[in-house]
Amino acid sequence: AVPLTEAWQVTPGADDAALSGAPGPWTLPPDGLADWRTLPGLEAARGPVVYQTTVSVPADAAGPAAATSQTARALRVRLGDVAGAAEVRWDDLPVGRALVPPFDVLVPADAASPGEHTLTVTVRAPWRNRLLALGATGAPAYRQFAGRQDATVPAGLLGPVTILQAAPEADQAAQ
């Protein structure tokens, strides 16, 4: 496994920042991913909320061939729990969407070289928490949601996020 040692930068979309009055970004420790309901300013977010961190891939994690300057192996990004839908980018390369468990995507072997990479996960949560927050404002269009703040649901990238060497057959699938 490739350890995640760098902090996550968490940035809400403009709509969420405007609603909460807390524009972010926030910095979370590598193992500090949490439900948006526990993060001030994200309680009613619907997304997109962008999580970004730096990943250092050692030569041995990219596969034995990479250590000898041959072809690298694909990597599997396992997002852990996601309360919503996630889109994953490795550097600037879109590598997949994760909508249902397991929340895994493959980084193709040609992008999984040893060295520093940027992992970006964009999460869109269910609308429920946003609608309940709008109901709490007293806005007539959302009155059916007023007084229901106890009905919120988990939201966000909950993790833990791990990066693993993919099985050899995944090298073909990730191409």
pTM of the entire structure? 0.86
d(CA 66, CA 148): 54
- pLDDT single digits (tens) 64-104: 554 444 557 899 999 999 999 999 999 999 999 999 999 99
For residue 168, cis peptide bond before it (omega within 30 degrees of 0): no
pLDDT, average across residues 147-160: 92
pLDDT band at 39 (very low <50, low <70, confident <90, very high): confident
Quick one: pLDDT at residue 69?
45
Q: Which DSSP category does 108 fall into?
A: P
Q: Does residue 174 carry a pLDDT above 60?
A: no
Quick one: pLDDT at residue 66?
47
Q: Which pair of tokens denotes residue 110?
A: 């040609």
Quick one: pLDDT at residue 144?
93
Q: Residues 6 or more apart from 170 whose CB is under 8 A from it? A: 74, 76, 106
